[in-house]
Structure 1
Amino acid sequence: MLDPALCRQARLSRDARFDGRFFIAVKTTGIYCRPICPATPPKESNVVYFDSAVAAAQAGFRPCLRCRPDSAPDSPAWRGTQTTLERALRLIDEGALQEGSLSCLCERLGIGERYLRRLFQQRFGVAPKAYALYRQCLFAKQLLHQTTLPVTDIAYASGFRSLRRFNDAFKAQIGLTPREVRRESTERSPELILRLAYRPPYAWESLRDFFISRHIEGLEWVDERHYGRCIAWGEARGHFTAEHRPDRHDFLVRLELDDLRMLSPVVRRIRRLLDLDADTSVIETHLTQALPGLPLIEGLRLPGVWSLFEAGIRAILGQQVTVAAARRLVTTLVATLGEPACESEGQVRYHFPTPSQIAGSDLTFLKMPESRRETLRRFASFYRQQADSADEPSTWTALKGIGQWTADYATMRGAGDPDIWLAGDLGVKKALPSLNSHDPAGAAPWRSYLTLQLWSQSSLSLQTSSRPTSSRQASSRPTRSR
């Protein structure tokens, strides 16, 4: 439940740390805003608070054209605590109801349609399809504000099959027509540029250094203010470069994608890769209370990997070797099997190899034990054959050569799971004395951030590998640094 007194203080101070954690609806205007809206604050008697944009829209309010609630970071709080609901929201945001039916979504979740509808009614007061439709319209509104894409292209990029359907849905959900929103917009660019906001603080230097030490030439690029990489989503291919702008609490993302229908899930994946939706003030308050005396880096974020498959491959290649050696192996794999993307400054860029490309190669170009090559091929074949079920790392441990460490590490970086504790990691073990004998279990549900905080304290976090003490442990405890 939202605390009205806390919300009032946050909106009057326009505290950016609360951006996306709640929304302010004004009864006299019928508009809902972000806490950072530059408009003159309304009287408290005219204000209603909502914990999500969907809830505000369901109550009959339309989004503000000045602060643009469609651009606010998502708050984990409104997603609830039920695993099924969280997974349903993630799949819907990735386009599950645009590409398939509600029954197909329920089959992937392993639940009935009636139960899923009940979860959404209890949490948002709307059906799953109504939720998905509103999210599509908010994304379209963001594109109308920030790009000069034709309205027809924006309709398809937002998941609509026809311009007429898009216009009708947008008017019903937003309260304005697409052309009315575009007429009000003053910050458009001829490029496909998006502004992805976050709640401060944001420890960009720590994230940047983590990426720099592990970035793969040809696949990724990192410098003082930027991170970019080649990306793939289904059959769509492209690349992006994100520029950090600390004064605006956002990233300016320049994106190229050859299939705009995949734009919405791609943007969601970029947000996850940069961990833009984390509320680090809440996380660090919890860690401080659970583990008194633990020194913390303020605003530390989880450094993501584009996909679970890529995270798994990188973890396997990092088994029992240094960060530098693992990086060389991944670079060789990408340059040998990756699909060429484009040229930039005289250098060829590549997409990360697909499961079929890795499974069909003998991998002899990789200088490592044959048993590890077999593990790579086995893992890639599993991904090629199992489709959706392969995106559950808990199933990976049935494969020879992959242990719990690999599955957990890939879950943390490839899926952005906030509650992974890598107890067997050498870097974590070295930093354990800083916990002052407190139980790490108290850090739940933010143990991934605890792991990252401990890595930052360990001199081994960027330099060494987590070498198993026996051959039996090798498959379950690869190098932590990958």
Structure 2
Amino acid sequence: MDPDIYRQARLARDPRFDGRFFVAVKTTGIYCRPICPAPAPKEENVTYYASAIEAANRGYRPCLRCRPDSAPASCAWKGTDTTLERALKLIDDGALIQGSVEQLSERLGIGPRYLNKLFQAKLGTSPKQYALYQQLLFAKSLLQQTRLPVTEVALASGFGSVRRFNDCFVRSLQLTPSSLRRRSGESPATGLTLFLSYRPPYAWSSLRDFLSARLIPGLEWCADDRYGRTFRWPEPEGRWLTGRFTARHRPDRCGFEVGIELEQPGPLLPIVRNIRRLLDLDADIARIDDHLRQLPALADRLIPGLRLPGIWDPFEAGIRAILGQQVSVSAARNLVTQLVDQVGPRSGSTPLFPTPAEIANADLGFLRMPGRRRDTLTRLAEHCIDGTPDPDSWQALDGIGPWTTRYARMRGLSDTDIWLGTDLGVKRTLEREGLALDPEAASPWQSYLTFQLWSLT
């Protein structure tokens, strides 16, 4: 960390650094985002930390004004250890809400002792404590931004009982949930509406237009300043949590107001994390743009702030990719619409994307496409019934090649380093513009290079 750079960013309240570091104030015992509106403390009274958990481990509590829980996710750990990156991703998706450290270690292919050692070395805490603190910060966000009762906040944050939630909240944040709500100083939004921040710039119009061109009526909706869709989230014992969200872009506040409706109570933290991924809110976009500008072919064509438009999960991304093989965007959208209308169940008056089991058990004869491609849909669905394995494993299935798995990784997992050089749109852009590119030079941001070229079509 360079204290001089962070000092300048803190004093300027530069939103490009939001979430990249946190400012701990020794005189108050509070840690803040660099954009905190409170009067800036003297430099000798502050300490900089790369993550919120590090500040918490030093005894600091989160600021009630700038809400560190609302900052874009810190990426200080990225690129240093792929095992740690996978572990954090699984924990953020709720792996330790529904499972144990031993089960998480088994999924990572390492022992619990090594996993704990890795967390201590990189983050100064254990996997369980990291997960617990993320749950508490999310609960803090719900208490300050919504009118949910404390009992529902505890459940949505992944706590099994209100008593345990209260005990952990007081011990870690030095406040009770009820006193935090009283001290927030503003009226929470009606219903379940959260504000999710990003680091500017954010090319919203490009993201909106891309999603709109592929929009499935009923499943998704889009307007000038918003995008939304229905969704399902897997729960234990084969159950599904269903709901919908609408994200309204607020460029004046560098974020989105996201309204979420759930048909039944359940853990909300992994769903919000997935919405953040789908809208690519945690990207350090200034760093990515600076990297891509080094490519001579893109220097004058780069769209600042271009994000990766996600798909809700890798399975849906894989199905969309198969239906989009060798056809136009509009033809692929029509096929996906037919699949959703014929096979997907409905949530009230709106459809849901079908699960692997629903597609595997369906007669897909209504899809006007080659029979081999319909069989590929069925094979992928059968392969994913007991969960959605890594898309790389799909290539063992007949009819699925590298383009499909890479597309699923790029849009269903938001993998930042995917180059789709064989894609027809990318090839046409390169030929039309006469661009000579070395995609490896864009690594680890090849996915952003792919979308930059798609934007030129």
Helix, strand or coil at the partner of 1:230 = strand
Any residues of structure 2 matched to 1:170-249 within 5 Å, and which?
170-185=169-184, 186-234=186-234, 235-249=240-254
Give the CA deviation at 1:420. Answer: 0.3
User: Corresponding residue for 1:478?
Assistant: none
2:155 partner SS: helix
Give the equivalent residue in structure 2 for 1:321: 327
Does 1:251 pair with 2:256? yes
Q: How does 1:42-441 map to 2 (within 5 A)?
A: 42-185=41-184, 186-234=186-234, 235-291=240-296, 293-294=298-299, 295-343=301-349, 349-385=350-386, 387=387, 390-432=388-430, 437-441=436-440
How far does the alpha carbon of each residue in 1:306-331 deviate from its partner, in whole angstroms, 9 at most, with x for none? Answer: 00000000000111111111100100
By how many angstroms is 1:189 displaced?
A: 1.9
One-letter identity of the residue aligned with 2:231: I
Secondary structure at the counterpart of residue 78 of structure 1: coil
Q: 1:438 to 1:331 in 2, by over 3 A?
A: closer
Aligned length: 449
1:187 to partner: Cα distance: 3.5
| Contact 1:291–1:443 (CA under 8 A) maintained in structure 2 | no
Q: TM-score, normalised by structure 2?
A: 0.96
Q: 1:172 to 1:290 in 2, by over 3 A?
A: farther
Query: Structure 1 residue 342: deviation in Å?
Result: 1.9
Offset at residue 436 of structure 1 (A):
5.2
Rate the CA distance shift 1:435–1:55 in 2: closer, same or farther, 3 A: farther
Compare 437-446 and 236-245 and name the one that shifted more. 437-446
Q: 1: CA distance between counterparts of 2:172 and 2:427?
A: 51
Distance 1:375 1:293, change over 3 A: closer
Post-superposition offset of 1:93: 0.8
- Conserved? CA contact 1:218–1:335, under 8 Å: no
**Closer, same or farther in 2 for the Cα pair 1:273/1:379, shift >3 Å?**
same
Give the superposed CA RMSD. 1.3
**Inter-partner Cα distance in structure 1 for 2:310 and 2:454:** 15
Percent identity of paired positions between Structure 1 and Structure 2 = 60
Q: Which residue of 2 aligns with 1:462?
A: none
SS at match of 2:247: strand
Separation in 2, partners of 1:276, 1:339: 30
CA-CA distance at 1:58 after TM superposition? 0.5
Q: Distance in 2 between matches of 1:119 and 1:396?
A: 30
Structure 2 counterpart of 1:407, one-letter code? T
Quick one: distance in 2 between partners of 1:98 and 1:43?
40
Distance 2:400 2:274 in 1: 25
Contact 1:280 1:299 in 2 (8 A): yes
SS at match of 2:307: coil
Shift of 1:85: 0.8
Q: Which residue of 2 aligns with 1:452?
A: 451
Shift of 1:426: 1.9
Please give the alpha-carbon distance, in whole angstroms, between the structure 2 residues aligned to 1:300 and 1:252. 20
Q: CA deviation at 1:107?
A: 1.0
Partners of 2:316 and 2:428 lie apart in 1 by 28
Aligned to 1:461: none
The answer to whether the 8 A contact 1:293-1:435 is kept is no
Letter paired with 1:36: I
Look up the equivalent residue of 2:294 and give its one-letter code: Q
**Cα gap change, 1:292/1:25 in structure 2, threshold over 3 Å: closer, same or farther?**
farther
TM-score (norm 1): 0.91
Tell me, which stretches of 5 or more residues in structure 2 are unaligned?
235-239
In structure 2, what is the Cα distance between the partners aligned to 1:324 and 1:79? Answer: 36
Q: Give 1:190 deviation, angstroms.
A: 2.5
**Aligned residue type for 1:394:** D
The 1:364–1:14 alpha-carbon spacing in structure 2 relative to 1, beyond 3 Å, is: same
Contact map agreement 2:77 2:85 (CA 8 A) in 1: no
Displacement of 1:432? 3.1
Amino acid paired to 1:156: L
Could you tell me whether the CA contact under 8 Å between 1:193 and 1:253 is conserved in 2?
yes
Shift, 1:391, TM fit? 2.6
Task: Measure how far apart 1:115 and its partner are.
Answer: 1.1
Tell me, what secondary structure is at the counterpart of 1:92?
helix
For structure 1, the residue ranges without an aligned partner over 5 or more in a row are: 344-348, 459-482
Query: 1:419, 1:448 within 8 Å by CA — same for their partners in 2?
Result: yes
User: How much does 1:289 deviate?
Assistant: 2.3
**Deviation for aligned residue 1:267:** 0.3
C-alpha distance in structure 2 between counterparts of 1:438 and 1:146, whole Å: 46
Query: Partner of 1:432: helix, strand, or coil?
Result: helix
Look up the equivalent residue of 1:264 and give its one-letter code.
L
Instruction: Tell me the distance in 2 between the aligned counterparts of 1:214 and 1:308.
Output: 16
1:30-77 C-alpha deviation (Å, 9 max, x unpaired): 000001100000000001000100111011100000000000011222
Superposition deviation, residue 229 in structure 1: 0.3
